[in-house]
Amino acid sequence: MTLRTLCGIAALALCAAPAFAALPVGAPAPTFTTQASLAGKEMPFDLAQALKKGPVVLYFYPAAFTSGCTIEAHDFADATDSFKKLGATVIGVSADPIDKLDKFSVSECRNKFAVASATPQMIADYDVKLATTTRANRTSYVIAPDGKVIFAYSAMDPAGHVEKTMDAVKAWKAAHRKG
């Protein structure tokens, strides 16, 4: 193979590689406070306060009202009661403005869980920026009450995010049962 061919293959490989990464398991989750909406009502969301109640399922998604993000919101809405039974809080996060999230929280999140507006700093802190935009990629985290990431999963397909985060919360709960 020529050098030119090798360079071309390397360039294609870089383009095909995921354009995002995630915080590793065991890393401290960056704390944040941001504006959120639950059932169309705006409120502050503070990660540190939520962690006092139990684990937090923090999922980043690219944009409200897009097909994949709508599917994911419906899936999390359907599972929210199960997460609550395990003591976990679910919060979805995108770079969308809060007025758009007010509508998304009602229609697609079905008034079940809050969605929040991510600042560029949050997207950078959680290492979820799509390479070509200011949007976040689709990454789900489970954060333990001690503030450590216990699960991280990145895939642009919304399938699997709810199931995988639920499994991580169940595993955490089983390991922390008082007996």
Which residues are catalytic, by number?
69
Question: Which is nearest to 58 in space by CA: 148, 171, 142, 170?
Answer: 142
User: In which residue are the tokens 């560029």 written?
Assistant: 120
Contacts of 116 (CB under 8 A, 6+ apart): 34, 35, 36, 37, 45, 91, 92, 93, 101
Q: How would you classify residue 139: left for phi > 0, otherwise alpha for psi between -120 and 50, otherwise beta?
A: beta
Question: Which one, of 23, 43, 45, lies nearest residue 34 by Cα?
Answer: 45
Q: Are 141 and 58 in contact (CB under 8 A)?
A: yes
